[in-house]
A and B are shown apart, each in its own frame.
Chain A
Amino acid sequence: MQSRQGTPFQSLSSVWRTLRSMRMALILLLVVALASVAGSLVPQIPNSPQRVAAVYRDHPLLARVYESVGLFDVYGSWWFTLAYALLLVSLASCLIPRTRGLIRSLRQRPQPARELESLRHFVAATVPGRPEDAIERARRLFRRRWYRVSLGNRNEQGLAAEKGLAREVGSLLFHSAFFLLLVGVVYGKGFGFAGQVTVVEGGVFTEAHANYDVPPVEGRFFSEGMHRGFQVRVRDFDVRYRRSGLPRDFVSRVDVREGARTVRTDEIRVNDPLVHDGVKLYQSGYGWAPIIEVRQDGRLLAGGPVVFVTDGSQDQRRAWRGVVKLPSIRPQVGLEFRLLPDPESFVLGAPMLEARNPFLGFTAYRGDLRLTAAQNVFTLDKRGLQVWEEGGIGLGQRAVLPDGLEISFPELRQYTQFRVARDPGTGIVLVAALLVLVGLIPALYSSRRKLWVRAVPDGDGTLVQLGGVALQRRAAFEEEFRALARELVGVARVTERR
């Protein structure tokens, strides 16, 4: 009976012991790291469902394998959560006893030792004077060298001294700060979100779930109601270039509005985000957004800025592409545009950095847009379409197509893209990271050492015994010990044991 009760208990306690070992903590840390790597390589359901679907379509077997081990949703998978939780428990379980131990040794005075002769460093000599004087001299000497000193009891002249608790304190600070860092990461991810948004000059973005380019990645404890709802109106956007054609600086000038009130006006640049209500907006991209109007017999079918993209975002020598879909007329029409912001430079093969006589070329297709299938706003699905008309217009011009269709290009604007993120854990993580660093220095560079002195009457004088040990940096301590011995008892026979 007893053995049957004992076994599960024993195995439980051995699990516990394993968990408390730091090797386990380091292994768990690596597991978490590798899992995160996997999470960044394999598409994740929460952030890119289409790409996950693509894996299912193109590599069904692989997808099944991924799915079975939860690789499509690493951060939500049970094993990731488990590893992270175990890591936290493991760290906490070695922090608590160490903290207790540290507090105990901080409270306690250095403890007396019995046999100084057997210590690693030892010296003995007879000096003139009374034992009390020798002890007093030792106390002052050690004090001067920042040791904590405690005198022995009445009937024996002796003292104990130690130094280097900073090492323990630092080490503990390091480990606790690391724990705090892990907590801060979870907290920030859990209650935060991150998304991407494109806003054309003059346009307004309202911070809400539905208004992102793709659904934002939201933490597990984040609910839609936690979006802040403020508005960002982009007044204008500017890029400045170097002579080589590489961008030097991007600036978006924005108004932030709460309700109808403009609460601030600010600039957003690379490396200089806007922070409002705990949400940060980072300048992340830009491009051209011509305003294109399409009319049929005077009736407006489509009008407004169209976001254009370029293949190879750094290369301003290429034309920009954009698409307008007209599903409401029969047969359906799709328009594919090519924008040259600066045709003259284009012809010369130079980068088109500014708009000068912009030119909009188009190809019109007719047929079925296949809007029932998954859509990409930047391309046409040409499987149901035939080329119908081609042409091009400059700024302020219009082109007339058959069937009473008319395309005009009244204005060229730019759009800007922001990465929008909220991570309430950032502050915690930053503080924790700095504490990690602060704790590391004493933990690595200071060392603990202990000294004991005993003085007994010896004829007219006093026999002084000095013993010491160092837990780290023994070579340095040996020199220190010699110096102490010289000051306390004059040069004498120093024994070193190893």
Chain B
Amino acid sequence: MSLTRVSNFAFGLALVLYVVAMVAYFHHLAFRRGRVWAVASGLAYAGVAAHLVSVVARGVAADRVPWGNMYEYSSMVGLLVVAGYLVVERVAKVRSLGGFALGAAVLAMAGATMVYVTPGPLVPALNSYWIRIHVVAAMTGSSLFILGFVFTALFLVQDRKERREAARVEAEPAPALAAVGSGGGLPHDLATSPDEPADRADLEPRRGWLPTAAVLDRLAYRTVAFGFPVWTFAVIAGAIWAEQAWGRYWGWDPKEVWSFITWVVFAAYLHARATVGWRGRRAAVI
């Protein structure tokens, strides 16, 4: 039981660290102090460490993998969202989105506390290695989708702003900038496209607070493109498990329905992106 205590304490600590880091990230977004960013990032890393402790302690306390119920699942999703964001921060050198990603993680964890259960063994049907594989994949996939969703939502905000600015610039007698924004009027193929070089490895060319819409759009696409196969795999593993346990690989129970709808929606997103070259805006609405 004391391990459970450790786990709960570490969970609370991680939550507090995330909240503070989130505030710091937003501060950085607003005032652009490099030092504040460093603090925010450090806090987020510390939060991840505490969160890891919590999860591991929980696993040891229950003597099984720590994702057997909704509480543990939500907690893991929160952990993966933050970890995923920190990877993005490293790789894409985008610093200003931390607040939003952490916000999503904090929500997931707050949700977790609402469905808290003391650690215990699983019913026999859940005792299969397929479920472990399935849940790991599902957690990774949903974390990536959450990140993708956050990026996409921010993209919409930023895109609208840029278009308004572009319109203003166009109205003035110096139209040179107009095309730079979000492809005002150019054929999509030539206009800003998912991997627009202008924003490469970006040192954050920005318009106001956020990275440009193109960067956000690309981040969103990358995250979703990574999440989609993972999610597909999760659904397949879940179906294999359901087949083993209940003799049907698909039964349209609410979980299955939602995972399927999520899958189709993100497939539609990828379609919109990959084919018509509807970049961003319309795809994002999906």
Residue positions of A touching B, CB distance < 8 A: 22-23, 26, 29-30, 33, 36-37, 39-40, 185, 194, 242, 244, 246-250, 270-273, 280, 282, 284, 314, 419-421, 423, 426, 429-430, 433-434, 436-437, 440-441, 444-445, 472-478, 496-498
Contact = CB atoms under 8 A, between A and B. Distances in A.
A40 B232 contact: no
Contacts of A273: 244, 247
A272 B245 CA distance: 7
Nearest to B267: A26
Given A194-B248, A421-B248, A426 B229 contact: no
A441 B196 CA distance: 22
B115 interface: no
B195 A473 contact: yes
A267 to B, nearest CB: 14
B123 interface: yes
B2 interface: no
A271 B123 contact: no
Closest A-B pairs by Cβ, 3 of them: A475-B195, A421-B247, A40-B252
Given A40-B253, A478-B197, A498-B198, 15 more contacts: A26-B264, A30-B264, A36-B252, A36-B257, A244-B120, A244-B121, A270-B127, A272-B244, A419-B246, A430-B240, A433-B239, A440-B232, A473-B194, A474-B196, A498-B191
Contacts of B252: 36-37, 39-40
Interface string B234-257: 001001110111111111110001
Given A247-B123, A473-B195, A475-B196, A498 B190 contact: yes
Contact of B196 (A271, A437, A498): A498
* Interface-centre pick from B128, B194, B228, B229 (highest chain A CB count, 10 A): B229
Interface stretch (B30-38, B48-56, B71-79, B268-276): B268-276
A426 B268 contact: no
B125 interface: yes
B143 interface: no
Interface residues of B, number: 49
A26 B286 CA distance: 12
Contacts of A476: 195
11 contacts: A22-B271, A30-B264, A33-B261, A37-B252, A194-B247, A247-B124, A270-B245, A272-B244, A421-B247, A434-B236, A474-B193
A439 B78 CA distance: 30
A252 to B, nearest CB: 13
A497 B186 CA distance: 13
Which among A23, A282, A478 has the greatest number of chain B C-beta atoms within 10 A?
A: A282
A30 B261 contact: yes
B246 A282 contact: yes
Contact of A271 (B128, B192, B198): B128
A33 B245 contact: no
Interface string B220-239: 00000100110011001001
Contacts, number: 114
A282 B123 contact: no
B67 to A, nearest CB: 18
Contacts of A39: 252
B278 to A, nearest CB: 11
A248 B193 contact: no
A270 B261 CA distance: 29
A491 B80 CA distance: 43
B251 A40 contact: yes
Interface in B110-126: 120-121, 123-125
Contacts of A270: 124-125, 127, 245
Given A246-B121, A444-B228, A475-B196, A426 B264 contact: no
B206 interface: no
A282 B239 CA distance: 15
Nearest to A282: B247
A146 to B, nearest CB: 20
Contacts of A430: 240
B264 A29 contact: yes
A193 to B, nearest CB: 11
B268 to A, nearest CB: 5
Given A433-B236, A496-B197, A498-B196, A441 B124 contact: no
B260 interface: yes
A436 B263 CA distance: 13
B168 interface: no
Nearest to B121: A242
Given A40-B252, A40-B253, A271-B124, A475 B267 contact: no
Given A22-B275, A194-B247, A33 B260 contact: yes
A445 B195 CA distance: 13
A475 B215 CA distance: 12
A167 B228 CA distance: 16
Contact of B247 (A26, A33, A419, A434): A419
A249 B121 contact: no
A314 B120 CA distance: 15
B200 interface: yes
A498 B232 contact: no
Contact of B125 (A271, A436, A444, A496): A271
Contacts of A475: 195-197, 199-201
Given A242-B121, A244-B121, A430-B240, A284 B246 contact: yes
Contacts of B247: 194, 273, 280, 282, 419-421
B194 A472 contact: yes
Contacts of B128: 271
Contact of A429 (B198, B199, B249, B251): B249
Nearest to B193: A474
A441 B229 contact: yes
The residue in B124, B190, B196, B243 that gathers the most chain A C-beta atoms within 10 A of its C-beta is B124
A271 B197 contact: no
Given A33-B264, A40-B251, A434-B236, A271 B193 contact: no
B24 to A, nearest CB: 30
Nearest to A240: B124
A437 B124 contact: no
A368 to B, nearest CB: 41
A249 to B, nearest CB: 6
Nearest to A36: B252
Contacts of A26: 264, 267-268, 271
Contacts of B194: 472-474
Nearest to B237: A433
A26 B199 CA distance: 32
A242 B122 CA distance: 10
Nearest to A25: B271
Contacts of A40: 251-253
Contacts of A441: 229
Contacts of B127: 270-271
A183 B268 CA distance: 21
A314 B122 CA distance: 13
Contacts of B267: 26
A185 B123 CA distance: 29
